[in-house]
Each structure stands twice: as structure tokens, then as C-alpha cells.
Structure 1
Amino acid sequence: MLLKSLASLCLLAATAFAVPAQEKRVHHHADLSDHAHNDGEGFQYDHDAFLGKEEAKTFDQLTPEESKDRLGKIVGRIDLDKDGFINHSELHYWIKHRQRRYIEENVNKHWDDYDKNQDDKIAWGEYKNTTYGFYLGEEFDDIEDKDTYKSMLARDERRFKVADRDSDGIATREEFTAFLHPEEFDYMKDLVVQETIEDIDKNGDGKISLSEYIGDMYTPEEGENEPEWVQTEKKHFTDLRDTNKDGLMDFNEVSNWILPGEVDHADNEASHLIHATDTDKDAKITKKEILANWNMFVGSRATNYGEDLTKSHDEL
């Protein structure tokens, strides 16, 4: 039971206690696609950004006629003021909406696993019992690394309490979303920094040294020469991360590292799509202009764009 529960926990709340690779510690908003943004090689990035990654896979299976028909219906939803034009603000809002859908669908997919009494809320007890099971009563005594699991439980409880804004011990959908995806919520960001420090800080002084910083991403093999990129990371630590030059990264320095100014991918993509399809250069696009460039916005099995078209049904 514990292994099954922990598998679900790791899937849903991996950032709670899993130690990600160094390059994934920086919490940018998720990019819009796993594909490179290179229109010269295809429009898969644009498809993912405009439709959402999962919906883009569906469109890849449609004929051009079906794709254009569905695209026409989507255009009507994007045109919020119903003036017949889609401006940058409307397209930006739509793309951000598709981003948010991923997180909402992730929460909804697993909601019933935790909401045992089906009251559309998740109490801390429901989450704890579902995740850790009857091993709680034994204080993990039968688990080889029981101290790790005790630490995981304590860390989950702390995060749950921070996400629980009204402190009633019960998470609404929004609060549970903050628990699972804390980097998406401003009021959770101090906790994200704290958890990052705890992951890397091996001597428990509340700060990150150069050796701890490097050790989080690189453990040399015996006789191995240090890779060049490690030297580069050491220089980044000294020149960029440790701003007060005391040899350590404190809370504020870690925050500046993992929570930098965000790149608004949705804003950039909205500008890109309008620039590429606005034939009369009025800074707005019409349904006609969009349908004339339908293969930039959506895919189909006849376009030959994107790696997904070469995959089997099972892979998709």
C-alpha cells in the first residue's frame, strides 16, 4: 500500500520531497511545448502553445478539413468582445488559459483519490492516510529508511498548512492546487525557496555553500576529470549567485536564483502568431487570416509537421 501511495504522491507532488536535477531547480513558468520553436522545421511548438499539449495530439489525428472546422469554432471562443477581430490581449489570454488547463486537469485527474468522503474538499487527514496508509500507526518502523519517510510526512504537512490559507485543515481545489504546484502561487514561493535550501543544504546551517551547490548536480567518479560545465557553474555561483560575496547563498540569494523574473512565453507566442498571420498589418487577426494559416495554429495527419505524426497510436 505504501509503495502504491508513494508512487501517486511522487507523481502529484514531486517537488515536495524529490530532489530535481540542478537545471530544473529554477522555477520558470512551464514552457508552452517540449518542441523547439523553429517554424522552419515545423509548427509543433505553435500547435502545443495554441491548443495545449494534449489537445494538439488530438488535432494531429484529424484531416485538414476537420482541423479547419474545429479551428473556426475555437476562433469564436477567443474573440471575447465578439468584434470579429482577435487582438494581442485576447490571444494572450487564450494561450494562458491553455497553460492553466494542464494544472487543473492534473488536479482533477487525482482528486477522487484523496477526497474520500466526496465533499469536494480534501482534509489533511484524507491526504495523509491515502498517501502513507496504515504505516503511520507503526511510525514507519518496518521501513528501511524510516527517518526519510518521517521527514517526507512532516514536509507534506508543513506545505499543506501553508497552502491552506484559511487554516481550517481542509484544502479547497485552489488550495490543493497550491499544495501540488506551489511555484504557481505567489503566497507559496517562500516555501519553495525554503524547500530548495533544505534539499541542498547538507550541514543544516540554512545556507548553500559552493560545495553543496555543486554537489547537488555533480558527484565525480574516481579518477574522473572535472567537466568544463562544472567550472562554469562554480563561476556562476561566485559571480552571479553569491551577491554579497560571503561564500554562501542565503534565503534571498536562493530566491533570486530559483525565482528570477519570469519570461512570459504566452505573451511572446501571441505576438509571434499575430505577426506571422496579420496580412493587413493592423495588429489584429481575423478568422479569415487564421484559417488561411490554419496549419500554423493546428495540426493534422496530412501536414507532415511535428514529430508526433511519426509516432504510433500507443506512443501518442
Structure 2
Amino acid sequence: MKRIIFCWMFLGVCICFLGVLVSGKAIIPPGARKDDSGEPILNVENEQDPNAVQMHQDAPEELEEEVEKAGKISKEKDGDGDENDTGDKNDTADGEDKEKDEGDTKEEEDEEEEESSVYESYGDKKEKMVKFEAEPPEHWDGVRLERNGKINGDIEQELFLGPDHDEFESIPEEVGKEKLMEIFKLVDTDGDARLSLKELIDWITLKTKEHFREAVEASKTVFPKVDTDSDGKLTWDEYTIQFLKQRGYSKNKIEKFKKGKQVLQEHDEEDNAIYRDRWETADEDGDDALNSEEFVSFMHPEHSERMLNIVVEEVLHELDQNGDKKLTLAEFVSVPISKEEDLLKMEKEDEWIRGRREEFETRIDMNKDGIASQEELKAYMDPKNKQHAEGEARHLMGAADDNSDHLLSPHEVLGSYYIFIGSKVYNYARNVHDEF
């Protein structure tokens, strides 16, 4: 009997098993979880951990914000965001619309700021890389007065020590004296181991000519950098763009200025007007464009005889208080005209004023009428004026000629070492440009 019951039970199990195979349904384990529709969840590998779900739901909003920020930063670095992210696309589109309304994007401003602060570079004779200078220099080598009306305190070093006069500030005195003796041999053209007054004058004149050659070379190096269309002619518009770039104006602001929608800062407007006057004077053929030769006159007005009037006008612009195109002693000293009667009292207390008075009375006001006319200022500012070379040569001779034989020996020159490294002879050429 038991065998019969066992067989029927075994047969029932087999029939159930065959039924499952035919229907394709799996056996549902007891206690299996079911989804929202009531179906059992059988694929546990793809099932989301309920603990993880709970952790995600409980995550603080600050963390999500930080993740969002990090994602934005990453996208900014990579350039473009995820093209499949609809939210980012919408944000970008909204941002672009806003940027159009405002006129400029922050990215454009950053590019413009970078563009305005980076300039092409060129090398001087020492192969040094320097920032490209589109503006004429404020300091003219070899001229006693600077554009802003200040006396060139380095003129003697510039004139005697040459373009490398700065080297004497950093070398030991022993080395400096060796270099001074090398210069002595160059000045002593007749080889008699004595320097005459004529040899000193000729040396200063020679250094002046060397300066002009350097000025021409430097200007011709700069010219192709500002002549952006490379047609051999520099228009005022081309130059103005370079000038404003150097003053820190962005591309957008320069475009607005060209359209009359951008006002320059006061000092930039003033300099722009001064340079325009200088430009018109340098434009010898009157075509409102400068060729490479005319550009030399614009950048280095001391190089051109007809540009000296412009140099004088620029100095008068700084010092002439009443606009009469000439200077009194008070104006040259930069004392208000109303305080001119107090000048003598102020001079006793101020060494700077005494120095300005001496310069005015001994080097500028040659007819001793108490007024510096434009002609007197022009002669004073002209580095090629032979009187300057002769005056400096006499100054050196008088300071170093211990035995009064009107000749300078090596011993006398070395004995006046600090006088010579601060005189015009070594680098008269450099003074001609910067001081002028």
C-alpha cells in the first residue's frame, strides 16, 4: 500500500514539474518581494538596494549643490557641456540670450583684457625680449629736459658712458676704471695718451650720431608691428588702436571709441591729442599716413630738425602757466606765478629750486632777459647743438685737469672717476633720445 501511495506522489511531482516547463513560469519562492503590479521580483542582480535608495533620498541638498558646481566647473574647463543634458542646454541658451542683451559676455571681456595686456615683443641689440612699445618714449636720451619738464638727472651718465651706462651702477669700481681706460683709448684718437678738448668734443658728437642710428634702427623694428596691414603706410587709425591697446583698453571699447561711443580717460585723451599734433608734423608729405622714415620722426622727434618745435610745444604744455608760449624762471621752477616774489626765499630753503634756477640762467636764458623764448628752448633741447658737446667737454676738462695744461692724462681721468661716469661723453647718444 505504501509503495502505491509513494508512486502516486512521485507521479504528481513529475506532472507539476512538466507543467512548469510547458508554461515557462518560474517557481515563486516563499516570501519573494513583489513589484507595484503584484509580480514577483526575481532578478536580484538588477534590483536597487533599498538601503542605497534611502541614503540617496536622505542626502543633504548642500552635497548636491557642490556636485552641481563641480560639474559646471568641469564643463567650463572642457569648453562645452554634455550635449545630451537638456537642462544644461536650456541654461546655456538662457545665458546666451542674456549676454546678447547686455552686449558683451564675460568670456569676451576676459579675452579682451588678455589681448590688451599682451603685446608683441622685439629684441634690442642685447637680444632682450621687451614689451612692444607703440608709444613715443617719455624720456629722450641726450636732452637735458624731459617731456614732462623735469631735468634729466642721468644726462651726464648717458652722454659719457654710452648705451651701457647702467652697467657702471652694478660693477665694482676696479672694473669700472678698467672700462674707463678702454674708453680713454677710444677718445684719444692721436694716440698720445692725452685727451684734448677737441678729442672730447668729437667723442661726444660721435656718440650723438650713434644714438641716432640706434633710434632709426629701433623705430624701423617697431614700424612693421604697428603697420598691421603691411602696406608700408601707417594710418592714424592703425596707430590709435595700438596706442589704446597699450593704455589697457579692450577691443570692445576701442571699437566703441572708433564709433564715437566711448570716451577716453582724461589723461589718455590729452596724450592722444598731443600725439595727433606730433603725427601731423611728422607727416611730411601730408597724406595722413606715416612711412617708416616719418615714423622715426614721430617716435624720436629729436632726430628731426623740424620736429624740435613739437618737442618745445610739448614741454611748454607742461610748464607754461599763462599760455604765452614762453617761460619765466618761476614757470620753469614750477612755482605759481602769484608766488614769484617769494622765489628767492623758497630758493634758500630748497636745493631743487636752486638747481632749476642754475639750469635756467646758465643753459637756457642765453640773452639774460629772464625769459626762455621758444628759440632758446629749441636750442636747449637740440641734442645735436654743438654748444652742448663743447660745454660738456669744457666741463670735463675743467674738473679733471689738475695741472692746468689743457690736456687730460690717464691718471687725471682716473682721479676724476665719478665725474666721468656721470658726464655726457660716454653716452651722449643715449641722452640725446631719452632726455630730449
TM-score by length of 1: 0.52
| Mapped contact 1:32–1:99 kept (Cα < 8 A) | no
Q: Which has the higher contact order (CA 8 A, sep 6+)?
A: 1
The one of 235, 239, 245 aligned to 1:127 = 239
CA distance in 2 between counterparts of 1:286 and 1:209 reads: 43
| Mapped contact 1:79–1:86 kept (Cα < 8 A) | yes
- Residue type of the alignment partner of 2:188: D
Aligned positions of 1:1-316 closer than 5 A: 8=133, 12=137, 24=149, 31=152, 33=154, 47=157, 49-52=159-162, 55-82=164-191, 84-98=193-207, 112-116=221-225, 123-124=234-235, 126-132=238-244, 137-140=255-258, 141-145=260-264, 156-165=275-284, 169-172=289-292, 175-182=294-301, 185-192=304-311, 228-229=339-340, 255-256=374-375, 258-259=377-378, 264-291=387-414, 293-298=416-421
**What's the CA shift string for 1:39-59, capped at 9, x where partnerless?**
xxxxxx5x554214x634312
| Mapped contact 2:187–2:200 kept (Cα < 8 A) | yes
CA distance in 2 between counterparts of 1:287 and 1:21 reads: 34
CA distance in 2 between counterparts of 1:267 and 1:98 reads: 13
CA distance in 2 between counterparts of 1:99 and 1:107 reads: 13
Deviation at 1:176, TM superposition (A): 3.1
| Mapped contact 2:220–2:296 kept (Cα < 8 A) | no
- Residue type of the alignment partner of 1:64: E
- Aligned-residue identity in percent: 21
- Residue type of the alignment partner of 1:50: F
Structure 1 counterpart of 2:349:
none
Deviation at 1:147, TM superposition (A): 9.8
Deviation at 1:187, TM superposition (A): 0.9
Q: Structure 1 residues 72 and 147 mapped into 2: Cα distance closer, same or farther (>3 Å)? A: closer
CA distance in 1 between counterparts of 2:404 and 2:278 reads: 49
| Mapped contact 1:80–1:90 kept (Cα < 8 A) | yes
Structure 1 counterpart of 2:95:
none
Gaps of 5+ in 1: 35-44, 220-225, 233-240, 242-252, 300-316
**Aligned residues, how many?**
247
- Residue type of the alignment partner of 1:51: L
| Mapped contact 2:139–2:146 kept (Cα < 8 A) | no
Q: Structure 1 residues 69 and 277 mapped into 2: Cα distance closer, same or farther (>3 Å)? A: same
What secondary structure, in the 3-state scheme, does the structure 2 residue paired with 1:282 have? coil
| Mapped contact 2:137–2:299 kept (Cα < 8 A) | yes
- Residue type of the alignment partner of 1:188: M
Q: Structure 1 residues 94 and 152 mapped into 2: Cα distance closer, same or farther (>3 Å)? A: same
**What's the CA shift string for 1:84-112, capped at 9, x where partnerless?**
44222221233355567677767766764
CA distance in 2 between counterparts of 1:22 and 1:228 reads: 24
CA distance in 2 between counterparts of 1:23 and 1:148 reads: 13
| Mapped contact 1:178–1:185 kept (Cα < 8 A) | yes
CA distance in 2 between counterparts of 1:72 and 1:79 reads: 10
Gaps of 5+ in 2: 1-112, 120-131, 246-250, 344-364, 366-371, 423-436
CA RMSD after TM alignment: 5.4
Largest Rg, 1 or 2: 2
TM-score by length of 2: 0.40
- Residue type of the alignment partner of 1:24: G
